[in-house]
């Protein structure tokens, strides 16, 4: 089922998510809903808090449009190693119509469970590394705009307030 994506500055986006203790049918349904919502948006990643569910579940698919989907579902993802630096433009389904360059690690190793409770390890770089960092941040109540310099963050907040006022 396609769900509504929470939009900044919704305070729910700033809440930290709880670990999944047991992978149930409800968690599997959440992952399906996240994937459907992400593909419909369209986006390359979505975290459960972005649809108002504060559980540590993310979905990512960085495959090109002309490739078959390569969906990653990660339950309780953790970055266990990070190195290098990259500075790439990011956007977010919860922060529409805004993108900015963000400092991230160039390579990360992520461990997480799949929907059968099996642990997987991803050794990532490039876009997949950025996507994992971005989505895991959501689980901790962090948005990509929180990584901006104070000046750029203030400019963004002004723009977001103005856009919110125009939609009222």
Domain ranges of the chain: 11-167
Catalytic residues, which ones? Answer: 135
**Interval 120-156: pLDDT, tens:** 999 999 999 999 999 999 999 999 999 999 999 998 8
Q: Which CATH class is domain 11-167?
A: alpha beta
Residue 167 has pLDDT above 70, yes or no: no
Report the predicted TM-score, pTM, of the whole model to 2 decimal places.
0.95
pLDDT at 67: 94
Mean pLDDT of all residues in 116-122: 98
**Interval 18-72: pLDDT, tens:** 999 999 999 999 999 999 999 999 999 999 999 999 999 999 999 998 999 999 9
Instruction: Please give the full DSSP string across the chain, using - where no structure is assigned.
Output: ---PPP-TT-GGGGSPPBPPSS--HHHHHHHHHHHHHHHHTT-SEEEGGGGT--BSEEEE----TTS----EEEEEEEEEEEE--EEEEEEETTEEEEEEEEEE-SEEEEEEE-TTS-EEEEEEEHHHHHHHHHHHHHHTT--GGGGS-HHHHHHHHHHHHHHHHHH-
Mean pLDDT of all residues in 95-105: 94
């Amino acid at each position: 089922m396609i769900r509504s994506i929470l939009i900044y500055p919704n305070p729910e986006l700033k809440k930290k998510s709880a670990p999944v203790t047991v992978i149930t049918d409800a968690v599997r349904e959440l992952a399906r809903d996240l994937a459907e919502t992400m593909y419909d948006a369209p986006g390359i990643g979505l975290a459960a808090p972005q649809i108002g569910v504060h559980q540590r579940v993310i979905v990512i698919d960085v495959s090109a449009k002309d490739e078959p989907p390569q969906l990653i579902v990660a339950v309780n993802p953790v970055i266990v190693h990070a190195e290098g630096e990259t500075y790439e433009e990011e956007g977010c389904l919860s922060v529409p119509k805004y993108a900015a360059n963000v400092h991230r690690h160039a390579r990360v190793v992520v461990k997480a469970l799949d929907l059968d409770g099996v642990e997987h390890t991803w050794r990532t770089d490039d876009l997949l590394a950025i996507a994992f960092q971005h989505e895991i941040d959501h689980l901790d109540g962090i948005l990509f705009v929180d990584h901006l310099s104070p000046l750029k963050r203030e400019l963004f907040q002004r723009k977001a307030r103005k856009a919110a006022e125009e939609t009222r």
